[in-house]
Every structure is written in C-alpha cells, then in structure tokens.
A and B are shown apart, each in its own frame.
Chain A
C-alpha cells in the first residue's frame, strides 16, 4: 500500500507528543530526589497507578500486534490476549504485596531483602537490562511501523523520533511523569478502542469482492481443464473462450516457480504476467487472483509486475480483508449485537491472505500473496497461525511448543521489571493490591475488545497485506480520518509510554543494582539521579539502534522472546524468595543466571530465529522447538532448589526469607 500523510493525523500526533512532553516538563520539577525520580515518592494514587499499569502493559505488541494477528489469522491472536491477561493473576495473588513490602527501587530489592548480596544485585541488574532491551526492540520497531504511514517518514526516522522523545521524558521527570503519561495513554487507548468496537458493531458485516480501494479480486472456476502442465493448450483455450482472457499463454513454471501452486499467465495485450493461485475446493479447481511483490537486486520493486508507485493512483498492492459470503441470501447485516457479531461470522466466509516467498537464482525475490477463502467457524477456532500449528498437529513437539508459549505468557507478566517497579510508586501494600485490581479491570476490558477490533479489521477491506501491524489504525481509517488520527496518535503514545517505563527500569537497575551495590560505588542522592539520567540516554540510544536493525521482525514475535527470558530468569527466584524460607543467596544467583542464559540460548538456537534472523534453513535449528519456557522456567526452579539445598550451611538459615509474619 502507498501511505500518504494525513494532515489531521500529523496535527493529532504532534499535539499528543507536545502534551506528553509538556506534562513531563511540568511534573519533572517536582522530582529532584532519587525517591522522587524512581518511585514518585510512593505517592501515586492507587487508581491512577492501576490505569498506569494498563498504560505500561498495553504495548505496541498488544495493540498493534494482537489486533494485526487476529485480523490476519482470527482467534489465534486472541490467545495472546488470554495469556497476557492471565499473567496478571500471578502478579496480583503472588507478587504484588510482597514486592511492595520488601522493595524500594528495583525488583532486585525484593530478591535481596534477606541476603544483602552484591551477586544477587549484579545478576538481577543484568537480567533487568536483558529483559528490558528485548522488550524495547519490538516497541521501537512498532514506532517505526507507525510513523511510516502516519507522517510519511522512513522507518528509522520513526525509531529515532520515539527514542529521542522518550529520552526527553525520562530525563526530565522520571517516574512521576512516566506514570501520568501511562495513565493518560491507558485511559485513551481503552476509551478509543471501545469507540472503535461500537462502530464495528454498528456497521455490521457486508459481503464484498475486494477491499475498500474498490479493486475486485477475480476468481475463475470451477475449471474444466485442471492439468496445467500436460494439457497446457486446452487449459489456455478454456481461459480464452470460457473466462475471457484473450490470448492467454501459460508461462512455464521454471526456477523458483516450479512445484508451486501458482500459474503465471501472459496476455496478448502486453500487460505484465498475472499470477494465479490454483485453489482446490470441494466442487472443483479454481484460479484465484494473487498479488505479487518482486524485489530485484538493484532495489527495484515491482508490484503486480509494474514499478511500485510513490503516490496514490500509481501501482500499489490492493487493500484486502473482505467477507465473501454471509449466511442466507443477505449481503449485509446492519448493526449487530456483541454476541450476534460472532454467531453471524461463524456462518460466513472470509477471504484471508497467505503468502509465499520465492527466491530466484539472480538473487531477486518474489512474494506472492494469495487468497484463502476461510469459513467463519474456522476463523473463530484456534490453530490457523503457523505459531499455533501444534493444535492441529499430530507431533508432540508442536503441542509442547504451544504449551510452552502459553506458559511463558502466564509467567512472564509478573517478571517484567517495568511492571514490578510500579509497585513502589504507591504508598502501601493495600494500594499495590488495589492498583493491580484496577489494572486487571482495564487491561481485561481492552483484551476483550481486541477480538472485536481484530475481526472488524479482518472484514473492513482496509488491510495492508504486507503489514499486519497496521491493521488497527487502518481499521480506524475505515471509520473516518479523525478516528484514524486519534488511534494512530494513541498507538504512538502507547509506544512512548512503554518505552519510557522500560528505560526507567533499566536506569534503576544500572544505578542501584549494578553501580550502587554490585560495584559498591557510593553516590549521593543527586548523583544517583544524574547517573540514572545518563543511563537512560545510553539505554535509549541502544534501543534506537536495535529498533532500526530489527525492523523486519514481527512485533509480537519479539515480545514472546522478552516474556520467555523474563519468566525464566526472574520468576523462579522471585517466587522462591517470597515463599521458600530455605532459599539461599547462591541458589538465587545460579537460578537467575541459568534461567537467563538458557532461555536466551534456546531462542538463539531455535527454528524461528534460524529462519527469521539468520536467514538459514529452520531444519538446521538445534533447539527441538521454538518456545523455551516449558523447559527453562522449571529449570530455574530446579536449579534454585538444588543449589539452595547444597548451600544451606553458607546461607542464612533460620531467618524468614519472605519477610512475612508467621502469625
């Protein structure tokens, strides 16, 4: 698709950024001490902190990634919503109150409450940095993805813009401003998502033959001649005589085109070859129109065989996302109720889009996007996305991979450093508990809406077949430019909010855990704040660089990494320190180190990374499945127990590890 900057969206964007910066500057004057900078003096009202939890948590992955995944694959994206929300149960029932009781600045404080160990601070500080950086990458990639269509800037400009703005926010005011930015962002995100959902239901569902740009996708069939290779002439004759493609000639399937389900047809009128997908259905064989994106080695890009345009009206990929069949004879439903929306979709047919990348001998590539008419009942079932193929697979490893991902989502939330430090911004444990409940209500409501927004985008005719992350903003565009402007600006502040929380968590880890405790550098209160600001700038710059380097990677895929590493490295130590009095310093250090390195190593040796990062054959991967959590999280617990039992003599037995009253 060709995106043109919308003046309203640009104005909205700069108003949002301006307000955010203004707020940060205003509130920043109040945060001079380290307690003010890192924890807002513990004076944030619990309700505000609860909504700020939502602001922190509902990142680019939640808003852009989940909506995009549902829009392209259906129910599978909603599994992320379920898993992300379930993780808050761990946060509320297991972690919230002890964290507030035992900690001061960073989550390492709670781990180290009993031991006063430099080793724990060191490994916890490194773990915080590792998880935060992993989580920062998808946020920065998401920023670039958003700014590109919104303002017409290249991807790297978007990343630099976000990075610079966030560094300014964090350096100016720390936790006070970050919290209020999160509060605003969380409130607006949920409010506008609710508005968008109501508009989707009011619009209802409509049968179409193509997207909102007016292009109708052609399907030919059922064909009489189905053997393209051995009966080519008869096939060409049928195309010309029955289906009206005058002078149609089949282009021989050579090179990368051999053994694919595509057939290229040359026309007598001189148009570029068209590519068709051979689609075998119950009632015969059909040819369905595809879209192609060809990238030559010299940088030339061809769209459907023509040089890609740069402004509207020039060649571009067509918008997709249409419903091809409604129940009965109806062609549109009119307004639908919240449950009626699903029951109608269940009996409908939607055209999803698959893609296949062909690599040619000259180094060029062609990505073919093809139609996949899919029943609504299939869309509302798990197992359409390749990541969830385990659901319909007979292989045990595929099923274990699925279980592993759902385990990481469940355990990861309560292990994310930028979420954990938010427990220090309220005054007491009751406030920590209440703010978590508000967070669950806000986040849960939003995640319910993601299914409506994703399915609404799927049938809105506005999808960009190359970019699932833009599904939610483009859905908003189908409802009006103002809504698009507001949703895009909110999505951008979503990234700003989450990134500022992550950078603040990293700065706290560097200042308190690594420099202050592990390296024993004595700093005054003022020096701590200064060091934290320098660390924020450094982490911000690293995030900018990584956001540019990893721009091709899927946002929600990257977040999966962060959750796995966080859950494997942090959760075993956190839970055992709070609930097992025989935990020792050595057990914590070893468990965190093993959990972090094993999960990282597993990810780097997995099939997904081989294919998407290294560009290697995924069959060469060493890890037996992609998601490490089901192995590395229990491994963290086992290591901690084993080492703690071995080192009882050198630990501090007899002292209440959890710091809990034994009344």
Chain B
C-alpha cells in the first residue's frame, strides 16, 4: 500500500473519531443541554471543558497524524534505500 493511501486511511480514521465527538457535543447541546451545566474539575462547567476539549483534541489528533505520517514516510525511505 502506498504512503498516500495509508495516510488517507489514517486521516479518515481520525476524522471519523473527531466527527463522533463533535457530533456528540452538538447533539448533547441541542437535546440535553442541562448536562453541560454539570460542574467539572476546578469548578468549571462541562460546557467550557468540552469546548476547550474539542479545540485541544483537534490539535492533539493533528499532531498524532503528523507524527504517524512522518514516521511512515521515514520508514518507507529507509526500505527504499535498502532495496536499492
């Protein structure tokens, strides 16, 4: 499988994971917003925590994706050099 194809599959997997969390947040807000009033750590409510969480999670997933793609790309280069 080519690097492009593998990156694409990893990307789609991470995309679906984030989509589920984002969709869950939006649905919770639309149909059961009371739950977001619950206090979380440091006496900050879940609405604030979940908002910050979605933003930070986007960055974490982006970094994971970048790291995996880079690692795969390096491994592939080494394989190619060995075969040569």
Contacts and interface: CB of A to CB of B under 8 A. Distances in A.
Interface string A436-472: 1100110010011001000000000000000000000
Interface string A468-502: 00000000000000000000000000000000000
- Secondary structure type dominating chain B contacts: helix
A399 B30 contact: yes
Nearest to B73: A430
B69 A433 contact: yes
Contacts of B78: none
B71 interface: no
Interface string B19-55: 1001001110111010011000011110110011011
B48 A441 contact: no
Nearest to B18: A89
Interface in B45-81: 45, 47-48, 51-52, 54-56, 58-59, 61-63, 65-66, 69-70, 73
A93 B11 contact: yes
B83 interface: no
A661 B5 contact: yes
A407 B30 CA distance: 13
A8 interface: no
Interface stretch (A10-18, A78-86, A362-370, A635-643): A78-86
A92 B29 CA distance: 26
Contacts of A440: 58-59, 62
B44 A346 contact: yes
Interface in A342-385: 342-343, 346, 377, 380-383
B44 A82 contact: no
Interface residues of B, number: 43
A405 to B, nearest CB: 9
B5 A663 contact: yes
A663 B2 contact: yes
A663 B22 CA distance: 32
A54 B69 CA distance: 23
- Secondary structure type dominating chain A contacts: helix
A302 B11 CA distance: 58
Contacts of B84: none
Nearest to B25: A82
B26 A661 contact: no
Contacts of A93: 11-12, 14-15, 18, 65
A254 B18 CA distance: 55
B36 A85 contact: no
A444 B58 contact: yes
B44 A339 contact: yes
B27 to A, nearest CB: 8
B62 A441 contact: yes
Contact of B4 (A81, A101, A402): A101
Nearest to B70: A430
A260 to B, nearest CB: 30
Given A97-B4, A661-B5, A86 B54 contact: yes
A660 interface: yes
Interface in A281-329: none
By Cβ-Cβ distance, the 9 closest A-B pairs, closest first, are A93-B11, A343-B43, A661-B2, A93-B15, A663-B2, A339-B42, A437-B62, A406-B26, A342-B44
9 contacts: A86-B22, A89-B14, A93-B15, A346-B44, A380-B45, A399-B31, A430-B70, A433-B65, A434-B66
